[in-house]
């Protein structure tokens, strides 16, 4: 079984810097991290590989060369190969353009049985890249999965939680599934994989590698949406309530707060 | 400071540090308080393949040596020396097999130890035979295809938790130290029991117990090395594992120092942080100097051992003595800097000070180490 996991390198939100003029987030290599929701997707892929030994996991990322150091971390947990789609002509792409470029890369890389993505990226939060990739590739798509189980070589079972409801889907492969952020936590690396990662270089793709690539669909110019402005949010107005009292009263207050805000 | 570690060694240190910071730190206080054996952490170390760093490649390990083992111990000790010693005690039990095991013994035990499927232990000390190893009274009498072991061992790290024990017993009393032999004893052997669990001052997450042998039947093929070579097996093993105690000491000291520095920067007295007072600055500087010196000594000793040097008892003992004394001094000073907060259990330095003490005691008290060092110095000149 061939599994592809789309993994974006995002800027750590604690350290994010932006360029107000170009309206872009600065991708300083030292502050990059692999998008948490995508790592949940990767963990599902690794779990499938734990059970089925002939599984090959490829990861696909799109971004500047700085992303390479973070991509190596994917080899450290057991991915077989990693691909970085890196091309200056893709800079400024919105979700629509990104999905198109990723879909072209997936077509180029070959026939995958299962494509996994995180539900959204920390720095974009649109949640529309995964379904758009599926549309481009003309394969079924299930969003916001909380669990994935391979039934056999042709079918998988996908669970999605909605409050107290659990939806269970069965879908024929190939399919694309986007998973909820905290649905699985990525495992620790293994020493042997870390040694392998030392000398590993991801395969680099550029848009020149694709056939019939429509340049009008990518980059800032080809994007259908654009960032209007960055506005720093002030936290000065955040209200802080202090609940004093003995332990039981505090527990009651917490229970009340949880009920009110859930 | 990188100390010229190889890329692979840096990876081992980084991985161990991650486990220490993300997992060990979360359980250190609880495991210390309740005396919980850190099987879950050992399982993580097994998953990440750190349990096999010092095991030769042909037996399923990473193929590293004392340096690799010490890097893991050092990083685990930064957060909990009890966890670190539970890991290191398996190395102490595995080294006699690596050094003196027959091919069948190596093939049987080392791959499983490397994978973390077996926990090992080293059983030498007795009630009346601590530093005076030659006074052990446990006997092993050969009867047919078995050795029959009788006696008891005290203060055995990983006791009750280990699957495999390297046990030292007298096979010929008339020969003194040359009459001691080493045996591999598996958990579950007839006549082998685990006795009292010690209620210790520090390293409380580790298990320290008594072992009892009552007509314990050990197959003759479990004799390690030859009959009468047990004393050499023990001493040569200690030469390789004493740096592990030094690594533990360096890790404890490093952990306490990091807490003290952070605290000194945050704690305000007389309108300024503690770190702005020169009296505190000098204490922090001395901590740093001593830790770096101990670490440099430790790493150079590890490199010496792993280079294939023949005789390194003096260096091995010296780094253990120096690092353990540094750990005691640094943790005491960390408690001093943190004042009342250092003395209570809300912060980990109180635990670190308790943990540090044992590094001056076990695997040969520092007084015995000084005897070894002095004896080597006198022989040299």
- Tens of pLDDT, residue by residue over B337-347, are 999 999 999 89
Distance from CA of A218 to the nearest CA of B (A): 39
Q: Tell me if residue B347 falls in helix, strand or coil.
A: coil
* pLDDT score recorded for residue A259: 80
Residues of A in contact with B7 (CB under 8 A): 198
pLDDT at position A237, please? Answer: 65
Partner-chain residue, chosen from B7, B49, B53, that has the shortest CB–CB distance to A190: B49
Q: What is the Cβ-side half-sphere exposure of residue B191, based on CA atoms within 13 angstroms?
A: 16
Residue pLDDT, tens place only, A33-75: 999 999 999 999 999 999 998 999 999 999 999 899 899 999 9
> Does the pLDDT at position A224 exceed 90?
no
First CA to last CA distance, chain A? 40
Mutation target vs B (from A191, A193, A196, A200; most B CBs, 10 A cutoff)? A191
- CA-wise closest residue to B93 among B59, B60, B55, B126: B55
pLDDT tens for residues B210-254?
Answer: 999 999 999 999 999 999 999 999 999 999 999 999 999 999 999
Query: How many angstroms separate the first and last alpha carbons of chain B?
Result: 34
ipTM: 0.91
pLDDT for position A12: 84
**Residues B45, B19: Cα–Cα separation, whole Å:** 8
Structure tokens at A237: 């107005």
Interchain CB distance below 8 Å, B15 and A198: no
Provide the β-strand partners of residue B268.
Answer: B273
Banded pLDDT at B355 (limits 50, 70, 90): very high
Q: Look up residue A155 and give its two tokens.
A: 């079918």
Contact state of B49 with A191 under an 8 Å Cβ cutoff? yes
Paired strand residues for A179: A118, A145
Q: Which residue has the higher pLDDT, A246 or A169?
A: A169
- Of B7, B44, B50, which has the smallest distance from its Cβ to A198's Cβ? B7
Tell me if residue B363 is catalytic.
yes
Residues of B in contact with A77 (CB under 8 A): none
How many helices (H) and strands (E) in chain B? 11, 10
Q: Which residue of A has its CA nearest to B18?
A: A188
Give the residue among B143, B197, B164 at the shortest CA–CA distance from B34: B197
Does A151 contact chain B (CB < 8 Å)? no
CB A67 within 8 A of CB A195: no
SS3 content of chain B, % helix, strand, coil (to 5): 60, 15, 25
Residue B191, by phi and psi: left (phi above 0), alpha (psi -120 to 50) or beta? Answer: left
Nearest to A188 among B7, B8, B47 (CB): B47
Q: Which residue of B has its CA nearest to A198?
A: B7
Average pLDDT over residues B89-102: 97
Q: Which residue has the higher pLDDT, A165 or A247?
A: A165
Interface check for B19 against chain A (CB to CB < 8 A): the answer is yes
- How would DSSP label each residue in B234-283? HHHHHHHHHHHHHHHHHHHHHHHHHHHHHHHHH-EETTEEGGGSHHHHHH
Q: What's the rounded Cα separation, in Å, for the pair B163 and B4?
A: 36
> Tokens 């056939």 correspond to what residue?
A211
Farthest CA pair distance, chain A: 69
Percentage of the residues of chain A whose pLDDT score is greater than 90: 65
């Amino acid at each position: 079984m061939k599994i592809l996991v789309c993994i974006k390198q995002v800027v750590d939100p604690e350290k994010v810097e932006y360029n107000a003029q170009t309206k872009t987030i600065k991708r300083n290599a030292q502050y990059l991290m692999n998008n948490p929701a995508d790592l949940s997707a990767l963990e599902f892929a690794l779990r499938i590989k734990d059970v089925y030994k002939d599984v090959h996991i490829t990861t696909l990322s799109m971004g500047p060369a700085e992303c390479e150091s973070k991509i190596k971390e994917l080899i450290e947990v057991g991915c077989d190969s990693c691909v970085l789609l890196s091309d200056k002509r893709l800079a400024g792409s919105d979700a629509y353009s990104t999905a198109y470029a990723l879909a072209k890369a997936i077509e180029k890389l070959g026939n995958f049985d299962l494509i996994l993505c995180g539900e959204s990226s920390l720095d974009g939060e649109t949640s529309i890249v995964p379904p758009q990739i599926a549309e481009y590739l003309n394969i079924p798509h299930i969003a916001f999965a909380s669990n994935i189980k391979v039934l056999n070589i042709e079918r998988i079972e996908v669970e999605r939680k909605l409050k107290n409801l659990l939806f269970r889907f069965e879908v024929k492969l190939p399919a694309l599934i986007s998973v909820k952020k905290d649905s699985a936590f990525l495992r620790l690396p293994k020493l042997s994989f870390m040694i392998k990662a030392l000398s590993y270089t991801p395969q680099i793709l550029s848009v020149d590698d694709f056939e019939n690539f429509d340049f009008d669909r990518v980059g800032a110019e080809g994007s259908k949406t654009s960032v209007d402005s960055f506005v720093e949010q002030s936290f000065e107005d955040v209200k802080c309530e202090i609940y004093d009292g003995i332990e039981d009263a505090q527990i009651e207050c917490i229970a009340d707060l949880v009920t009110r805000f859930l | 400071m990188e100390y010229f570690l190889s890329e692979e060694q840096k990876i081992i240190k980084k991985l161990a540090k991650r486990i220490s910071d993300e997992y060990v730190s979360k359980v250190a206080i609880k495991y210390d308080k309740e005396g919980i054996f850190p099987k879950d952490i050992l399982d993580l170390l097994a998953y990440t393949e750190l349990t096999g760093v010092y095991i030769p490649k042909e037996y399923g390990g990473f193929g590293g040596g004392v340096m690799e083992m010490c890097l893991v111990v050092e990083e685990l000790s930064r957060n909990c020396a009890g966890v670190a010693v539970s890991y290191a005690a398996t190395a102490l039990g595995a080294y006699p097999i690596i050094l003196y095991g027959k091919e069948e013994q190596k093939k049987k035990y080392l791959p499983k130890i490397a994978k973390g499927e077996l926990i090992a232990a080293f059983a030498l000390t007795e009630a009346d035979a601590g530093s005076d190893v030659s006074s052990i009274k446990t006997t092993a009498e050969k009867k047919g295809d078995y050795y029959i072991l009788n006696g008891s061992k005290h203060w055995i790290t990983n006791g009750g938790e280990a699957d495999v024990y390297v046990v030292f017993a007298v096979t010929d009393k008339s020969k003194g130290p040359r009459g001691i032999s080493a045996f591999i004893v598996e958990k579950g052997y007839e006549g082998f029991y685990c006795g009292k669990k010690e209620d210790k001052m520090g390293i409380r997450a580790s298990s320290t117990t008594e072992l009892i042998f009552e007509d314990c039947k050990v197959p003759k093929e479990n004799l390690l090395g030859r009959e009468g070579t047990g004393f050499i097996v023990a001493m040569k093993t200690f030469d390789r594992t004493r740096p592990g105690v030094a690594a533990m000491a360096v890790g404890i000291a490093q952990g306490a120092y990091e807490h003290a520095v952070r605290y000194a920067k945050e704690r305000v007295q007389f309108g300024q942080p503690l770190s702005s007072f020169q009296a505190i600055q000098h204490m922090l500087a001395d901590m740093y100097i001593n830790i770096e010196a101990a670490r440099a000594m430790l790493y150079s000793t590890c490199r010496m051992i792993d280079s294939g040097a023949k005789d390194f008892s003096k260096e091995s003992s010296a780094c253990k003595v120096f690092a353990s004394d540094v750990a005691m001094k640094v943790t005491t000073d960390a408690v001093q800097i943190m004042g009342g907060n250092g003395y209570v259990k809300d912060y980990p330095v109180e635990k670190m000070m308790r943990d540090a003490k044992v590094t001056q005691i076990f695997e040969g008290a520092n007084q015995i180490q000084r005897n070894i060092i002095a004896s080597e110095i006198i022989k040299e000149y």
